[in-house]
Amino acid sequence: AAFPSIPTCCSLLDAQGGWAYGATAVREIIPRDHFGLEGSIGVTSASIDLASGSFVGYALEGTGPDARVVRAESLTEVDLHATTVETSITATWTPRAIPSSIHLYASFRSNWNLAVSLRQTERLLSPASALFSDTRERTRLNFDVPVTDRMRHLHLLGVGAGYETSLTSGVAVNARLGLEIPLNGMLQEGMGTILAGRLRLDLIAFLQEQPSITAPDTVNQVPPDSPRLADPYCMVRLDSVVGNMTWSTQQRIFSLLPYVFFDKGSSLVAGQRYNVVDAAAAVEFDERRLISSSADSLSEITNTLNLYYNVLNIVGRRMRDDYPRAILSVSGYTDDAEDESNNIALARRRATAVAEYLRTVWRIDSTRLIIAAGRLSPTAAVTTMLSEQDRLDGRQENRRVELQSSIAEVLDPVVVRDTTLL
C-alpha cells in the first residue's frame, strides 16, 4: 500500500522496529552552567524493518554437479534504508537540586534525506546445507529500489537526561539517553505512513579549551594595592582624622594556600583536616565569618588555619558567585614512594575527589574543572635529605592536589578591612 509500484513479499507493510547510527559535530552555543544551548550537524544511517514472512520452497543441497533439489524454508525481509544529514538544536538544563554532572535536555532534530532505498532480502533457514540455485549462497538480494523522492524529511522532538565526566585533562565525555517522537510521517504517497520514533543514546566528546594559567611568583597572588606577602598573614593600619574624630582602618590579609593534602594511600577529602559542608550550608557560606575580630598574634594564626581548612569552600564560593567563567585546574599527585610509587590512579582519584566536592556541593559545572594527575608535582618537595623525619615531611607534602585558576582572583588572599573610632 505504501509503495504500490514495487511488488514485495508481503501485501501489508508493517513497520516494527529498526536502528540508526551516526557521526555528528556538536558546538556549544551557550556554555552550560545551569542552562546551555548546543547546535549539531552530522550524517546518520538508518534501517527500518517494514515486513517479514516465512516461505517454503525449493533450493539446492550442495554445489557440485550432483547437487539435488530439496524443500527449504526461507525468511524474506523488507527494509527501508536511509542516509540523511541530521541537524539539531539542543537545550540543556541542570536543576540546582541535582549534581552538576547530570543534566536534562530537550532537542529539535531534523533528518534531511540524501538517499533512501527499499530492499528485499531472502535468507534460507533450513536445511543447513541448502543454497539458492541462482546465487549458490544462503542469502540473496531480491531488489534494491531507490525511493528518495517518495520520502518526507523527518523531524523529531526529543527529551532525555545526560551525565558528563572528564575523561582526560582536555576531553569531557557526555552520555545521554532520551526518547524522540516524530512530528511528521515519512511517506509522500500511499494509503498509510510510517512514524519513526527513537530511543536514543549519544556519546559526546567535548574538547575543552585549556585555560591560560601562569604560575604565580608566590603561592598566592596578592591584590595590587596590597604589600607582597612573605608570611601567611599581615596587617596594614591607616589612621585618618575627620574633625575631632580619629578613625583607624585596619586591612588584614590572609594568604590562601592552593593545595589540598592527603594521608598516605588516601583519596578522601571528608574526614581529613578540611572542613566540608553540604549543599544547604554552601548557600549561606561566607569566609569572612571564619575570621575573629581579635587581631592578636595567636588569633591571627588561628584565623589563617581556619581559612586554609576551608580552602575548598572559599574556592567553590568564589567560582560560583564571583567568577562564574573561571576554569580551575585540579592536579593530583602522590609521594611516589612505596605503595604510591607510580600510582597515577591514586593521584587521579585525589583530583577527582576534590573536583567532585566542588561539583556536588558548590554546583560548579564539570566543564569548568580540568582534572589532571601525575607521579610528582613539578614543584615537589625534596625527599633526599639525610634526616628521616625531613624525608617523611617531604613525602607528606607531596601527597596533594594543586589548584590553579584561569582567573587569579579565585585563589587570591582573603582581605578583611576593619574600621574603628579611636
C-alpha to C-alpha distance for 117 and 28, rounded to whole angstroms: 34
pLDDT at 412 over 50: yes
Residue 292's pLDDT is what?
Answer: 67
- pLDDT band at 156, cuts 50/70/90? very high
User: Which residue bears the cell 633526599?
Assistant: 384
Q: Which of 52, 55, 64 is nearest to 126 (CA)?
A: 55
Q: In the structure, what pLDDT confidence band is assigned to residue 228 with cuts at 50, 70 and 90?
A: very low
Give the span between the Cα atoms of 349 and 291, in whole angstroms.
32
Distance CA 4, CA 83 (A): 23
pLDDT in tens, 249-297: 677 788 888 999 998 888 888 666 788 888 889 998 988 888 765 555 5
Q: How crowded is the C-beta side of 165, counted as CA atoms within 13 Å?
A: 7
Per-residue pLDDT averaged across 162-191, rounded?
Answer: 77
Compute the distance between CA of residue 249 and CA of residue 420 in angstroms, rounded to an integer: 6
Q: Which residues contact 121 (CB under 8 A, 6 or more apart)?
A: 76, 77, 79, 139, 140, 141, 142
Residue 152 · residue 186 · CB < 8 Å = yes
Distances (CA, A) of 419 to 120, 247, 282, 342: 87, 7, 28, 52
Cβ-proximal residues to 393 (8 Å cutoff; 6+ apart), any chain: 381
Closest by CA to 88, choosing from 52, 43, 49, is 43
Average pLDDT in the chain = 80
pLDDT at 52 > cutoff 80: yes
Q: Across-strand partners of 146? A: 117
DSSP reduced 3-state for 54: strand
Q: Would you tell me how many other CB atoms lie within 10 Å of the CB of residue 288?
A: 9
Beta bridge partners of 403: 330
**Separate counts of helices (H) and strands (E) for the chain:** 5, 16
Judge whether residue 247 has pLDDT over 70.
no
Let me know: does 313 contact 275? Beta carbons within 8 Å: yes
What confidence tens digit (pLDDT) does each residue in 93-134 have?
A: 888 777 667 889 999 999 999 999 999 999 999 998 889 888
Task: Write out the three cell numbers for 99.
Answer: 549534581
SS3 label, residue 28: strand
C-alpha cell at 317: 564560593
ω into residue 127 within 30 of 0, thus cis?
yes
| Lowest-pLDDT range of 120-124, 332-336, 375-379 | 375-379
Q: What is the pLDDT of residue 89?
A: 96
Phi (first) and psi of residue 25, to 5 degrees: -100, 130
